[in-house]
Amino acid sequence: MFNIKSRENSSSRNFLISSILWLILFTTFGFIVAIKFFAPEFLGQTSLITFGRMRPMHVNGVTFGFLSTGLIGIAYYIIPKLTGTKLFSEKLGNLTVWLWNLAIASGTVLLAMGFTQGREYAEYIWVIDVAVLITLLLIGYNIFKTIQNRTERKLYASVWYIMGTFLTFPIVYFIGNVMWHPDTGSLQGAVDGVFNWFYGHNVLGLWFTTLGVAGWYYFIPVITKRPLYSHLLSMIGFFSIVFVYTGVGGHHLLQAPIPEWLKTVAIVNSGLMMVPVLAFITNIFLTMRGRWICFIESIPLRFILIGAVFYFLASVQGTFQAFRDTNSYLHFSQWTVGHAHIALLGGFGFLVFGAIYFLVPRVTGKEIYSNRLTSYHFWFSTLGFVSFFCILTIMGLIQNSGWFQNISVATVLLQLKPYFIARALAGGMIVLGQYIFFYNMIMTFRGEVKTAKEPFFASPKLQRDQVKGEKYRESVPLFAIGGLGLFLTMFFIVVILPYLLMDSPPSDISHPYTVDQARGRQLFISNGCMYCHSQFVRPQDWGIGRISQPGDYFYDKPHLLGTERTGPDLAQIGGARPPLWDIMHHMNPRSVSPGSIMPNFSYLSDRDLSDLKAYIEGLGNRNLETQDFQPLVPELYSGRENIYGDTIANANSSNESGTDYADLIDEGKILFVQRCLPCHGGSGNGQGPYARHVNQHPANLNDRISNFPGVDYHFWRVMEGVPGTAMPPWKLSLTEDAIWKIISYEKTFVDGVVRVIPGDFSDGEAEDFGSKGIISPVKQDDINYTDGMKIYDLYCAQCHGIDGQGDGPASLYINPQPANFTETNNDFKTQGQWFWKVSEGVETTNMPPWKYVLTEDDRWKAIYYIQKNFSTPGVFNEKWRS
């Protein structure tokens, strides 16, 4: 197959054959990975096929093995056709086939053995990087020499795009893989993330996109026999891609601790991405005008056009999710996995499928074995992929909803299980389509040559001579200086400047790794833990820890920021679990975390497990503080002081401020009773009636507020609510003044109330009211007694105690102390006194005015229960029986 002979198109053919072989292998890997999401012990547990190793094998395999190999095969075919000459050297071309395949095969084996640099899309170790880079340069040399020998004066758009690819991508590869650091292929600190994603996104932008667009611009006009709608539009697309695409990588790090200006550059460029994308899709659809019948008749064109549409959708989605707000919601989930698949498999994968069907007869002289099988391949791939993409997108939204509400990974994973299964089924459908494709291709290659392969140009040398002196005048200098200049300009902005300027000292939680921790970190990388565990806390991740800062990563090389949260974020996990729990978790995850889908790492030695534990325990500096869970107060609220602070500080019954204080507590109490009591309870202990109906239990305000770092934190929480809980953002319906009054009242659950109005005042009001001869309208029977008991137990017992002795759970902090009914019941002379106290509450105490909460009947029932149950025997019958 891989004869190094000077046979025309043999390089292209051999790259295409290689692409087919890698496709089968690496999509099968993808299918196995998909199954491991719901059956983590599928195929047993050995290091070679553990999830964290199969995933990079799948990703690197399909990107470099299947897609890149196929696209290089396309480029090797297109360039001679469009330049009117032969490929400069088929021998060199076939040498690159060998080198390329050797690099991918070796890289895959090394990944299986755990040799990885741990940076997404840049996992291949340095030796493989060198082989890939040399191959890229040799391919580029072959292509540029071919272009140099061309007989065509003008360079068609596809040639521009391919030239652009081989001018820029070797630079991207060298810089992105940090190849001047062979040991790790990475930089120290957060800047490594910038380099990683400059590379990661430009594998898409300056490799797949430029090669892919070259393919689309070639195949669609050729198959439809209609010229491209606008060559100028394709030029605009070319220059905007090399400039704009180069700078979008930072949008992978919009919540990560990198410079804000760099994020803004990435966002602006991501928006501008629509320029080349719209230029492309407009060009394609206007080229198709009047030729849509070809879409029906030609299956290769069907693949190619569907690929173009998927590429367009992926690009629109990419721009949409690159804005700050959308990105903050959509990050860290299967949504992104769906996006990667629609771009790579949906877009470029379908292009390569169509191109192979179109090119194989031309480079082998053999007809495709079965059109029916080709059609099956199309429908299995298309329907399978659309299902696959939709499932991933839905899964992503479910995950994102969970992350946004700070719901734990364990809970979200249980919800995802049916989708994991559905995703594997859809993936299986895609893979089945590829097996059909593979069989069709085997049978095609086994077939006989039916059409003679003619050299495209009988006398290229002669034609070269005829145009001598004209060919270099056009296009190449403009392209080379302009295109490369634009690329280098953006490269300077998004890579060189951050490299020069990002310099953050170690943060408070950053520390050098011990020998054991460093070894554990290497195990973490070689087993691919970072594919499921991110290591940065975003501003919205208030439940995880403090927001990550650049200095947190001072000692990290490579960075392990991560892109996905299939497991919990580990940035500050140290100390959050007992050390030996980690070891049990690694040996058998489900023994300590029943819903976990983490692989079983029992194949690790005792020392490996111990070192891995040491690394994880050290993340975030092993935080053992008992009450260290508060996120930072946003700037908008940071430092805000209680506008009633002076009133509270000066509260004293002997001066005028005492009245102000009483009014403040009174108003705050009413607001609290109306808005907050349903969840937090009248005593603030989180035992309100609605607390029984929410997942996240309402806060015990005595405990919670006493641990707040400041009143600004309290104000922020009431104003904005608490994501992931039933606590709403009260700023939507209350003024700041009202919220400060509530806060002032809630503080009394910690500090107690200053009794500026003595109890005599309330007693006097009650006596006045009672003297009006108010009688309970509630019939004194067993039904109302039982109702009264339930109301009392739910609303009153938290302060007054089940036995009415004023010793409920909240009585430990309620000050002044709640009444003991077994003593005070005998004091009241009339039923009206009772009703007044319960309805209006008691001034400058935590006794609420229950008229804002309970109906008259309910209040009377509760009074009936209290009177009958807690009075001295005989007193009740004597005083109250009607």
Q: Which residues form the interface with another protein (CB under 8 A)?
A: 81-82, 84, 152, 154-158, 218, 221-222, 225-228, 230-232, 235, 257-260, 324-325, 328, 362, 454, 456-457, 473-475, 477-478, 481-482, 485-486, 489, 492, 497, 500-503, 539-540, 547, 549-551, 632-636, 638
Q: By C-beta, is 675 or 714 nearer to another protein?
A: 714
Whole-number Å distance between alpha carbons of 156 and 161? 9
Q: State in angstroms the smallest separation of the CB of 570 from another protein.
A: 19
Q: State in angstroms the smallest separation of the CB of 485 from another protein.
A: 6
Q: State in angstroms the smallest separation of the CB of 374 from another protein.
A: 19
Whole-number Å distance between alpha carbons of 651 and 844? 11
Q: State in angstroms the smallest separation of the CB of 639 from another protein.
A: 9
User: Mapping DSSP to helix (H, G, I), strand (E, B) and coil, where does residue 564 land?
Assistant: strand
Whole-number Å distance between alpha carbons of 145 and 142? 5
Q: By C-beta, is 40 or 710 nearer to another protein?
A: 710
Whole-number Å distance between alpha carbons of 47 and 34? 17
Q: By C-beta, is 379 or 472 nearer to another protein?
A: 472
Q: State in angstroms the smallest separation of the CB of 265 from another protein.
A: 13
Q: Quick one: how far is CA 181 from the chain centroid?
A: 29
Exposed (0-12), middle (13-18) or buried (19+): which is 439, by Cβ within 10 Å? middle
Q: By C-beta, is 44 or 505 nearer to another protein?
A: 505
Helix axes 274-287, 299-320, angle to 10 degrees: 160
Q: State in angstroms the smallest separation of the CB of 223 from another protein.
A: 10
Q: State in angstroms the smallest separation of the CB of 506 from another protein.
A: 13
Exposed (0-12), middle (13-18) or buried (19+): which is 94, by Cβ within 10 Å? buried
Phi, psi for residue 286 in degrees, rounded to 5: -75, -25
Question: Distances from the Cα of 68 to the Cαs of 136, 140, 578, in angstroms?
Answer: 11, 14, 46
Q: State in angstroms the smallest separation of the CB of 551 from another protein.
A: 8
For residue 775, what is the enclosing H or E element? none
Exposed (0-12), middle (13-18) or buried (19+): which is 464, by Cβ within 10 Å? middle
Q: By C-beta, is 418 or 477 nearer to another protein?
A: 477
Q: By C-beta, is 551 or 568 nearer to another protein?
A: 551
Exposed (0-12), middle (13-18) or buried (19+): which is 605, by Cβ within 10 Å? exposed
Check: CB of residue 106 under 8 Å from CB of residue 126. no
Whole-number Å distance between alpha carbons of 659 and 665? 10
User: Mapping DSSP to helix (H, G, I), strand (E, B) and coil, where does residue 7 land?
Assistant: coil
Question: Distances from the Cα of 256 to the Cαs of 332, 506, 845, in angstroms?
Answer: 12, 16, 48
Q: By C-beta, is 442 or 481 nearer to another protein?
A: 481
Q: By C-beta, is 256 or 429 nearer to another protein?
A: 256
Q: Where are the alpha helices (DSSP H) in 113-230?
A: 126-148, 157-176, 191-203, 209-224
Quick one: which of 201, 234, 203, 204 has its CA closest to 217?
234
Q: State in angstroms the smallest separation of the CB of 690 from another protein.
A: 27
Q: By C-beta, is 262 or 523 nearer to another protein?
A: 262
Q: State in angstroms the smallest separation of the CB of 395 from another protein.
A: 24
Non-local CB neighbours of 172 within 8 Å, separated by 6+ positions:
198, 199, 202, 203, 206, 207
Question: Distances from the Cα of 449 to the Cαs of 8, 360, 445, 551, in angstroms?
Answer: 15, 11, 9, 64
Check: CB of residue 603 under 8 Å from CB of residue 419. no
Q: State in angstroms the smallest separation of the CB of 158 from another protein.
A: 8
Non-local CB neighbours of 76 within 8 Å, separated by 6+ positions:
9, 11, 12, 15, 87, 93, 139, 142, 143
Q: State in angstroms the smallest separation of the CB of 237 from another protein.
A: 13
Q: State in angstroms the smallest separation of the CB of 228 from another protein.
A: 4
